[in-house]
Structure 1
């Protein structure tokens, strides 16, 4: 029905984002990277949250209408009898492998966060929460929640071997803005 919308989705979102960035908001990257590095996080979290809500709604609608096993789980033992069923099986495998790769990336990200002492959750929680979220809100929204948790940890927590915390750094720039001198309070 509206499959054509999803085929060009990465391109259309990129174009819309570029147009909005050039027309709605001024570019403050050069100033923000030194004076306000967390400025963009609320906007990013809102965008990811809205996309997650939409993804979750589509997931729930699909599950209620067609069920999970028939729609998303490919049957490896039967051979498709016609072209349409073959394409359907191909898309099922594409779905499984794509989200499998996404979950592996999330697992690597959580592993990095845990080894850096930046993740506040236990391994049991880091394994159980994505499984429960996938069943409840779908893999797209689950991936977005996991990615948002990763971004939150990177932005607001410090590495276990960090010498100074974010609140102890003072950045001073010279008049031309090209040289940055960082001092640490001890």
Structure 2
């Protein structure tokens, strides 16, 4: 590695530190969860989730692997607090959050297929989503986006041979998300039986595993069927497929956003914005709700910062001019209309459109 490249990575790492600080903020939020831990532990011991409206039997074993069952029994009982409607504010917020996250997961999946992305956390999309199930996406997403930015300078983005993911992975995205994510996500929230919601949530918890295998199997099958040399037409086809994928995911997220908003009782800010920081909540419901709120904010703040940094790189490379003030205003308005999850993947798609619009790209000096 040249000294120039080393200096570049060091500079990019220092420049991107605001992304990494969001992981620290999320760790502070996790410290608020102390009051709810014994409550959930007691429910787990009895295999019964209880609240003012009644009680429901919950599963303590599911996968048949003792370590996995032990880990995810604690996680699924916390999700029961979100999905059983015992706390309506947490229910609606988590529904929006986890529906939105399908779009971010799509980004994780496709970015792993670009030759430019050789850093392991980016290259293997199983790692970050699986860690997010164990540690919280609000902690690991900032780490992912930080290292992504550090190890993916502008020349990697603007070199087609490094940036293009391939037609087969693009085609595989929608069926992968449908089978590995949405098929268990929505039953976890809308199944009329609460016991069934708990069962579906156990399925959903390992979506990173199901998704990785499904994505690999479908993309390999498609690649095997059409073994042809990559052409410019393939690049256009990739973009068309990504447009369809992003628009459909944005539609699902936006529909969920607008389905949710009218059902929220009281100020919307109390659902999506944390009410605690220096002081910690004492009520168990408020503890989990506060953690969820910080989780959402840290995850998407990291994602938007990452996109902003990449647009700054594209501006320096002469690919686009970014009217930052106007762009922030427009993004804010669009975000209110379509929701943060849709906004994130639409801005990501805009980046793809700008890169694809370069008919012939000169590989810049590796700064």
Q: TM-score, normalised by structure 2?
A: 0.39
Q: Could you tell me which of 333, 336, 355 is aligned with 1:135?
A: 336
Tell whether 2:245 aligns with 1:61.
Answer: no
Q: Match of 2:276? A: 76
> What is the deviation of 1:158?
6.2
Q: Could you tell me which of 240, 262, 269 is aligned with 1:42?
A: 240
Separation (CA, whole Å) in 2 of partners of 1:43 and 1:7: 28
> What is the deviation of 1:18?
2.9
Q: Give the number of aligned pairs.
A: 162
CA contact (8 A) 1:74 1:92 kept: yes
Higher RCO, Cα 8 Å, sep 6+: 2
CA contact (8 A) 1:130 1:142 kept: yes
CA contact (8 A) 2:300 2:340 kept: yes
Q: Which structure's residues are more often helix, by fraction?
A: 2
Single out whichever of 91-100 and 120-129 deviates more from structure 2: 120-129
Alpha carbons of structure 1 residues 29 and 107: separation in structure 2 relative to 1, 3 Å:
farther
Q: Could you tell me which of 304, 314, 329 is aligned with 1:103?
A: 304
Q: TM-score, normalised by structure 1?
A: 0.72
CA contact (8 A) 1:110 1:126 kept: no
Separation (CA, whole Å) in 1 of partners of 2:344 and 2:351: 10
Q: Match of 1:144? A: 345
Within a 5 Å distance, the mapping from 1:170-185 to structure 2 comes to none
Structure 2: 5+ residue stretches without partners: 1-82, 84-187, 190-200
| Helix, strand or coil at the partner of 2:352 | helix
Provide, for residues 45-86 of structure 1, a one-character-per-residue CA deviation record: whole Å limited to 9, x for no partner: 211111111111112222222253121100125532222321
Q: Could you tell me which of 210, 215, 220 is aligned with 1:17?
A: 215
CA contact (8 A) 2:246 2:345 kept: yes
Separation (CA, whole Å) in 1 of partners of 2:268 and 2:210: 29
> What is the deviation of 1:93?
0.6
